[in-house]
Structure 1
Amino acid sequence: MSENINWNKMWMEAMKNASWRKRRGDMTEFWDERAKHYNESIKQNDRPARVISKLDIDSEYSVLDIGAGPGTLTIPLAKIVKHVTVVEPSSGMLACLGENAANEGLENITCINKKWEDVYPGEDLGEYDVVIASYSLSMLDMAAALSKMDTVARRSVHLFTFTGDRMWDYTDLWPELYGEKYRAGPDYIYLYNILYQIGIQADVEISSTEHKQRFSNLEEAVEQWKKNLDISTPEAEDVIRSYLSEKLIREDESLWSKNTMKSVSICWRK
């Protein structure tokens, strides 16, 4: 690591050059459209239990969940802590979260429908025993984003992200569909070094994780990939169908997409 490298500037450049950002810009609308499907697909994974097992949690704690989606962590956390505050820009995701909370009879969740960049300590935010950002680190000015997390945290901050090829299907399909290499954006090493440069020495743990999605049939999967990849031409659809017909695994009368990825946990305690 070199002190002469501006890691925050490098993060910004890598984020701006990420393939998904160059094509879609603001991802809020994308997640609004995909909220219901994502809400169902995440129930097929054991991510919540794995993430929560890494947290220092007490029944009297308050938790801040940044980029909470449909409540992947919020719902199980709200069952064991005093209160959970959510910051989530997608109204579609918050609608799913509200429905999930109602189904569980939970009333200790407060939702803020804003981007992390647009909330302010002392106005929108108080202080929280534990602050979490799980697979939601898409802010451009990461140094400012991380500093704000540190400011509102009483005890600890926990970040969860990927390293390496975390979207295998995009890596394989993107060149065929768009004629260019898929760029996933910056990974955890940028985060670690940005933290170091703003005076925070964090612990890092890397592990393997499986991401899986279930589909009733091939056409359902093709339609989902078309939405994910923002394509509509018959030629592109044929490319996706051919790829998925070989990639998907038939199991229990369903089709499954299963990928093993490297997951990273970054934590610091106050």
Structure 2
Amino acid sequence: MATYTHGHHESVLRSHSNRNIANSAAYLKPYLDPGARLLDVGAGPGTITIDFASHVEHVTATEVGDAELALVKGLAQREGVRNIDFAVEDVHALSFADGTFDVVHTHQVLQHVADPVQALREMKRVTKPGGIVAARDADYAGFLWFPLAPELTDWLQLYRDAARANGGEPDAGRRLLSWARAAGFEDVKASASTWCYATPEEREWWGGMWADRILESALARQLVDSGAADRARLEGISAAWRRWAESSDGWYLIPHGEVICRA
């Protein structure tokens, strides 16, 4: 496994807990059958997972460790959702039998794993013949924003370098089709969608979250410990995020690649 660059600081979970089917898996929704068994690889805080549970018969949520899995377990308990089970798994070598699931889903995971092609092979293996493997990942090189700020350009390069140092590929979105084909899928539907933050509320949420994340998350510790950036540089980036959030002209676009792969 590669190292998860973001970590699980509160500022990271603040971002991930905003996700649901509508904003993060709309491309998969037409393929969700009420009788389906779905595997959610890398469930994170579980908000997409819980949403899936209201659309299919059963969901299995996985994470890389017990501490990470506790997040989705806790949310399911608080929401009273009972058609979910949980497993600690390595996506490169899943423990499930061949053809166990109707749908296998992963969101913002392949950019972090050591071997995304092997991960997709494993997801294909545990999917029933004719079933669906779905993946969506951001593409950091395609991020766009206004007003421009050199500190935010610096932030993006620092993040991309850190992700690659951890064995990941931050520009994963554009590679999903290629990875799926290399994994042996012949029937692949590739698409794209975006997140866009432009209202005052969206800017406050996104900019404020990253202003904290660049100072307090695992990414911040990695940058300082590796010598890639010092605290003063990160504080300058944090201040730039807050200036962006306060700008009435502020606009931010995040592109994602998506694939629907028929097993």
The two structures have a TM-score, normalised by structure 2, of 0.72
Q: 1:193 maps to what in 2?
A: 178
Q: Is the 8 A contact 1:143 1:194 kept in 2?
A: yes
Give the CA deviation at 1:167.
8.5
Give the CA deviation at 1:237.
4.2
Choose 73-82 or 242-251, whichever is displaced more.
Answer: 242-251
SS in structure 1 of the partner of residue 92 of structure 2: helix
Kindly provide the CA deviation profile for residues 222-268 of structure 1, in whole angstroms up to 9, marking residues without a partner as x: 433212441565522442244124211379xxxxx862111121012
Query: How far apart are the structure 2 equivalents of 1:38 and 1:115?
Result: 21
Give the CA deviation at 1:131.
0.5
Q: 1:173 maps to what in 2?
A: 154
Structure 1 pair 175/69, CA: closer, same or farther in 2 (3 Å)?
Answer: closer
Which of 243, 248, 260 is the aligned partner of 1:246?
Answer: 243
Give the CA deviation at 1:86.
1.3
Q: In the alignment, residue 260 of structure 1 is paired with which amino acid?
A: L
Q: How does 1:118-133 map to 2 (within 5 A)?
A: 118-122=93-97, 127-133=100-106
Give the CA deviation at 1:78.
0.9
Q: How does 1:13-92 map to 2 (within 5 A)?
A: 26-27=3-4, 31=7, 33-34=8-9, 36-44=10-18, 47-55=20-28, 56-92=31-67
Give the CA deviation at 1:77.
0.9
Q: In the alignment, residue 110 of structure 1 is paired with which amino acid?
A: D
SS in structure 1 of the partner of residue 95 of structure 2: coil
Tell me whether 1:206 sits opposite 2:183 in the alignment.
Answer: no
SS in structure 2 of the partner of residue 106 of structure 1: coil
Structure 1 pair 52/249, CA: closer, same or farther in 2 (3 Å)?
Answer: same
SS in structure 1 of the partner of residue 56 of structure 2: coil
Which of 97, 100, 116 is the aligned partner of 1:142?
Answer: 116
RMSD of equivalent CA atoms: 3.6
Query: How far apart are the structure 2 equivalents of 1:144 and 1:97?
Result: 25
Q: 1:260 maps to what in 2?
A: 253
Kindly provide the CA deviation profile for residues 49-105 of structure 1, in whole angstroms up to 9, marking residues without a partner as x: 144432211111110001110113110111221110112114443222122111211
Q: 2:262 maps to what in 1?
A: 269
Structure number with the bigger relative contact order (C-alpha 8 A, sep ≥ 6) is: 2
Structure 1 pair 214/187, CA: closer, same or farther in 2 (3 Å)?
Answer: same
Q: 2:220 maps to what in 1?
A: 230
SS in structure 2 of the partner of residue 261 of structure 1: strand
Q: Percent identity?
A: 21
Query: How far apart are the structure 2 equivalents of 1:266 and 1:140?
Result: 19
Q: Is the 8 A contact 1:174 1:182 kept in 2?
A: no
Structure 1 pair 235/258, CA: closer, same or farther in 2 (3 Å)?
Answer: same
Query: How far apart are the structure 1 equivalents of 2:78 and 2:156?
Result: 42
Query: How far apart are the structure 2 equivalents of 1:167 and 1:140?
Result: 27
Query: How far apart are the structure 2 equivalents of 1:62 and 1:88?
Result: 17
Q: How does 1:158-169 map to 2 (within 5 A)?
A: 158-163=134-139, 164-166=141-143
Give the CA deviation at 1:143.
2.4
Q: Is the 8 A contact 1:171 1:181 kept in 2?
A: no
Choose 96-105 or 231-240, whichever is displaced more.
Answer: 231-240
Choose 133-142 or 151-160, whichever is displaced more.
Answer: 133-142
Structure 1 pair 52/241, CA: closer, same or farther in 2 (3 Å)?
Answer: closer
Q: Is the 8 A contact 2:207 2:244 kept in 1?
A: no
Q: Is the 8 A contact 2:40 2:59 kept in 1?
A: yes
Q: Is the 8 A contact 1:41 1:213 kept in 2?
A: no
**Across the two proteins, how many residue pairs are aligned to each other?**
234
The two structures have a TM-score, normalised by structure 1, of 0.71
